[in-house]
Amino acid sequence: MSDTEMPSLDGLPLAGLKVVEFTHMVMGPSTGLILGDMGADVIRVEPIGGDRTRRLLGSGAGYYPMYNRNKRSVCLDLKSDGGIAAARALAADADIVVENFRPGALDRLGLGYDALSADNPGLIYCSAKGFLAGPYENRTALDEVAQMMGGLAYMTGPPGKPLRAGASVIDVTGGMFGVIGIMGLLERRHRTGRGGRVKCSLFETTAFLVGQHMAQKAVTGTAAAPMPARISAWAIYDVFATANGGQIFVGVVSDQQWSAFCTAFALEDFAADDTLALNNDRVRARDRILPRIRALFATIGSQDLLAKCEAIGLPVAPIARPEDLFDDPHLNAQGGLVDLNLPGGAVARLPALPIEVDGERFGVRHNLGDPGADSRTLLIDAGLSSDTIDALFASGAAA
């Protein structure tokens, strides 16, 4: 969806809310991204020269462009009295503050919840951290640290080879939980006028995501095996090689699907075998079923196999790479990808927020600006005088 196709600002769910964001990397910015896409006015406070996340290389090169659209930028030196005063002015009438720095960092600067809420009692303050309250709360954490100590890396890799998931799933999911907490406090504020503090975390988010495996141990008495070595809940639920050297995932997850599958692929002997009629019996017979299916699928091209499985309503998917999604016909059909101007003038099509509201997707209102592109406008809006702003720029406290 292009800028011109965006619903009116008044029609966006969070229009009228002001967010001040003191963040870096992924977890905090993802929280602000969600709020900004849904209509909030998100003000990104960056250090002089811009957030270092803008300049990451390698696997970090996509962090800034993915998680910082629909935000305005102000650059402040938070080690200076002038920069702190300007930041406090920005937060004085904010609805929401989001931060994800080390525990206590913003408190020491006078930008913590206690200090800001004293002047702004309705403020909702979201801190995105490594850990919630407990023995670990002051530890340094990253997405990868949480995946390792929270059991997700163990479940993702083959036995003995823990492997982090191939995206910043804990950073982003943790940020989503932050948004959920913010929404809950917004509703409470509607009733009481009182703000409050939300804290979301990487470690507890990871624990929540592996909760199903903890429950499996509690229910069965047997620990969950890593996913590559797991016993699936279904006999056919795997990645299969196809005739053209491709790969495809196919699942058969109900007794009705099993019957349709056997008919579609002329597996008359399987269809007639009463010992395979029920799912749990098929799981016990995987060693008999899977070699036959692998051999069959190896004689069928990927597209033919995909079409045949789709026709009978099976869960089926080609194995895609992230770069394949640029050309995905579904994502390109109804605003699933949004155009974003990158530094240097290139345009990237990146995923929109995965939500529809009243049949509409959320698009881009603010492209990625230069560091401090909105500093003067935002400081004027915060009530600072022209002389004060000039002095901040002259001293290097703002840029």
DSSP H or E segment with residue 24: none
Q: Is the pLDDT of residue 215 over 90?
A: yes
User: What is the Cα Rg of the chain in Å?
Assistant: 25
The ranges assigned to domains in the chain are 3-209+334-395, 232-321
Q: Of the ranges 170-184, 191-205, 267-281, 333-347, which one carries the lowest mean pLDDT score?
A: 333-347
Any bridge partners for residue 196, and if so which? 124
What dihedral angle (degrees, nearest 10) is formed by the CA atoms of 386, 392, 394, 395?
160
pLDDT at 251 (0 to 100) = 98
Q: Is the pLDDT of residue 204 over 90?
A: yes
User: How far, in Å, CA of 214 to CA of 194, rounded?
Assistant: 37
Q: Tens of pLDDT along 77-90?
A: 999 999 999 999 99
Q: Is the pLDDT of residue 1 over 90?
A: no
- The CA-based angle 229-299-307, given to 5 degrees, is 85
Q: Tens of pLDDT along 278-291?
A: 999 999 999 999 99
Contact 131, 205 (CB under 8 A): no
What the block records as the tokens of 39 is: 């209509």
User: How far, in Å, CA of 77 to CA of 94, rounded?
Assistant: 20
Query: Considering only CA atoms, which of 114, 70, 68, 108 is closest in space to residue 91?
Result: 114
pLDDT at 8 (0 to 100) = 59
355: confidence class by pLDDT, cuts 50, 70, 90: very high
Three-state DSSP at 260 gives helix
365: confidence class by pLDDT, cuts 50, 70, 90: very high
User: How far, in Å, CA of 169 to CA of 137, rounded?
Assistant: 20
How is the beta sheet containing 196-201 ordered, strand by strand?
71-75, 41-46, 18-22, 96-99, 124-129, 196-201
Q: Is the pLDDT of residue 4 over 70?
A: no
pLDDT at 120 (0 to 100) = 98
Q: Are strands 247-252 and 236-241 parallel, antiparallel or unpaired?
A: antiparallel
Q: Tens of pLDDT along 224-270?
A: 999 999 888 999 999 999 998 999 999 999 999 999 999 999 999 99
pLDDT at 116 (0 to 100) = 98
Three-state DSSP at 348 gives strand
Q: Is the pLDDT of residue 327 over 70?
A: yes
Mean pLDDT of 139-157: 97
pLDDT at 338 (0 to 100) = 97
Q: Are strands 124-129 and 196-201 parallel, antiparallel or unpaired?
A: parallel
* CA atoms within a 13 Å half-sphere pointing along the CA-CB vector of 23: 32
Mean pLDDT of 198-212: 98
pLDDT at 231 (0 to 100) = 83
CATH class of residue range 232-321: alpha beta
11: confidence class by pLDDT, cuts 50, 70, 90: confident
The CATH architecture assigned to 3-209+334-395 reads: 3-Layer(aba) Sandwich (3.40)
Q: Is the pLDDT of residue 162 over 80?
A: yes
Task: Write the DSSP symbol of residue 66.
Answer: H
Mean pLDDT of 135-139: 96
Q: Is the pLDDT of residue 163 over 60?
A: yes
Query: Considering only CA atoms, which of 56, 49, 51, 87 is closest in space to residue 68?
Result: 51
User: How far, in Å, CA of 142 to CA of 171, rounded?
Assistant: 8
Mean pLDDT of the chain: 95
Q: Is the pLDDT of residue 7 over 90?
A: no
Q: Is the pLDDT of residue 178 over 60?
A: yes
